Amino acid sequence: MSYLDDIMKSRRDTRHFLNDAVSDSVLEKALQAGHWAPSVGLTNATKYYIIKSGEIKKAIKKLFSEYDEKAANQTENASQKEQYQSLKLEAIEEAPLGMVICYDRSVLNNFTIGTVGSNEAIKFSAVCAAQNIWLSLTEQGYSMGWVSILNYYQFKKILNLPEHIEPLGYFCIGKPATNYDNQPMLQQLHWKQKEEHPFVQEITEIHLDIVEIHHESSVKVLDNKTLQSELQFKIDNKTKPTGALGVLETLALQIGTVFQTLTPKINQPNIVVFAADHGIAVHGVSAYPQDVTRQMVTNFLEEGAAINVFCKQNNIDLSIVNAGVNYDFPPNAKLIDASIDKGTQSFLHGPAMTRSQMELCFEKGSEIVAEIASKGSNCIGFGEMGIGNTSTASVLMSIITGIPIEECVGKGTGVNAEKLKFKSDILRKAIETYSGEDNLEDKLAYFGGFEILQMAGGMLEAFENNMLILVDGFICSVAFLIAYTKNPSIIRNAIFSHQSAEQAHGLLLNYMNAKAVLQLDLRLGEGTGCAIAFPIIQSAVAFLNEMASFDSAGVSNKE
């Protein structure tokens, strides 16, 4: 075995350090090794920040401790939880030197060779640099420990890093106090065994099949009796039997009343898809892994999803919002960054978010819709994407309406009967263990999802701007339920595009005395129901404005 092999084999995460200082020469040599690492397109996007301040280390340690406690609550196994809490996973204050290795997303503002296929390549370059630094330190008799159990949003704020600088984590540097019996610490403590050999498989066939990912009204009108009477007279006197256009007549009356005119017009229709991750997903309540949220947002941005197709088909503007996906998206003009955090926490053991984060959700949702309204749009649809969000929506529906959780739980992304029962049991346990205040705001913070609350805030803003509000399926209807609970008058402007295949959706619509335009057994989300229903809404406006009356056409009425 060569000397390099020995170095690589002995390189591991170090959590126990001696007090010996790290000399400038050792650090310079290690940083030079990092600089020699591959750099996609020679961007030099990797940046290094040195931490010596005890005060800063203390603040970062506090940030770690908060997230470490939440991480411990992710396991249901009591002995595993105890074992996890006994592990030493950082040496932030003990290590003589700290380093934050980052990558600079702003290099993507210009053409960069090697990033066309994946903007993530600049992050991969930074990881290569971290590895080189690790190897260099090991060769010099020092070591490094990578700490990633952090709230990265708060981490950046503590360090005052610019928005475009993204940290890989916090790295503890110093002389190791132990060799951990020449094996990874987690292996030494019997937490998990590292495979002796790497996984290697030759791929010999081309597979081109595309896998499709499937996720899963009676309307009160304004008290303008004269306008309503005139609208109803206009509708009834079209060249058709009274009521012959069914739901189209109901929609025409509603739309004319909302816009306060006998000749309504829909301007610059827009559908906004809010995406976020949910901590409850770690408990296996979804048929898909959490990373699908990120994958589907990328799919939206690359215009490959169902909502892209339907919006293009019907000339609807589409906006995509990162409300809190567990991922660092590179700069993209098509993506609205309203991220609150990298996903919520699991509400099985504690609040999904803080009260301030909950309030920020409503603010950001409101700001996004206000911006769309300021550009002349008077019709907005709401869609969502987030693995685990049917679980969140089910709990929110249950605690607001009082309907038992078992009746609010559905298949979501398509779980089987066994997993559906498991999902129901998990959510019932979460509700039963809630010990917070009995008010809406505290419950929203405890059980809410970033994208659901941002939609609710956006819907309330849309009502303030007298926009027509198109509501998609079950999850969007729960967001509307929150808005409706805060301001029942919002129902006047709402059109529920479809009743989804989720069993609870019909119960929820009944609770709000609402009726959906379509019933197509959809459960995709993304705002697809809004886009599919939009031509029907256009037809309601068209017949009201363009269809002849009995008088103008010279056609005899039945009288």
What pLDDT score was predicted for residue 455? Answer: 98
What pLDDT score was predicted for residue 333? Answer: 78
What pLDDT score was predicted for residue 330? Answer: 75
What pLDDT score was predicted for residue 466? Answer: 96
Q: Tell whether the model's pLDDT for residue 437 goes beyond 80.
A: yes
Residues 290-300: tens digit of each pLDDT: 889 999 998 99
Backbone angles phi, psi at 409, to 5 degrees: -95, 135
Q: What is the 8-class DSSP label of residue 176?
A: B
Instruction: Report residue 190 as tokens.
Output: 């019997």
What pLDDT score was predicted for residue 283? Answer: 83
pLDDT bracket for residue 442 (50, 70, 90): very high
Residues 240-289: tens digit of each pLDDT: 898 999 999 999 999 999 999 999 999 999 999 999 999 898 887 887 78
Instruction: Report residue 388 as tokens.
Output: 């685990």
Give the residue-averaged pLDDT of 378-388.
96
| Identity of the residue numbered 352 | A
pLDDT bracket for residue 239 (50, 70, 90): confident
Fold of 4-189: NADH Oxidase (3.40.109)
Q: Which of 58-72, 222-236, 258-272, 407-421 ranks highest by mean pLDDT?
A: 258-272
User: What is d(CA 151, CA 550) in angstroms, rounded to the nearest whole number?
Assistant: 66
Hey, where are the domains in the chain? 4-189, 261-402+442-499+516-537
The helix, strand and coil proportions of the chain, stated in percent and rounded to the nearest 5, come to: 45, 10, 40
Instruction: Report residue 155 as tokens.
Output: 């981490």
Residues 122-169: tens digit of each pLDDT: 888 899 999 999 999 999 999 999 998 887 778 888 999 987 888 999
What pLDDT score was predicted for residue 411? Answer: 61
10-14, 232-236, 555-559: range with lowest mean pLDDT = 555-559
Give the residue-averaged pLDDT of 525-531.
94
Give the residue-averaged pLDDT of 380-386.
97
Decide: helix, strand or coil at residue 147. strand
Q: Is the dihedral of CA 175, 181, 186, 187 positive or negative?
A: positive
Instruction: State in words which class domain 261-402+442-499+516-537 has.
Output: alpha beta
Residues contacting residue 3 through CB under 8 Å, at least 6 positions apart = none
Query: Among residues 90, 166, 502, 526, which one is catalytic?
Result: 526
What mean pLDDT value characterizes the chain?
A: 87
pLDDT bracket for residue 206 (50, 70, 90): confident
Residue 437 annotated among the catalytic residues of the structure: no
β partners of residue 380: 270, 469
Instruction: Report residue 438 as tokens.
Output: 């009995």
* Full 3-state SS string of 510-530: HHCCCCCCECCCCCCCCCHHH
Q: Rounded to the nearest 5 degrees, what angle is found at the Cα of 507, between the Cα atoms of 502 and 512?
A: 125
Higher confidence at residue 218 or residue 527? 527
User: What is d(CA 140, CA 29) in angstroms, rounded to the nearest whole number?
Assistant: 9
Residues 297-319: tens digit of each pLDDT: 989 998 999 999 999 999 999 99
What pLDDT score was predicted for residue 552? Answer: 61
pLDDT bracket for residue 43 (50, 70, 90): confident
Of all residues in the chain, what percent carry a pLDDT higher than 70?
Answer: 90
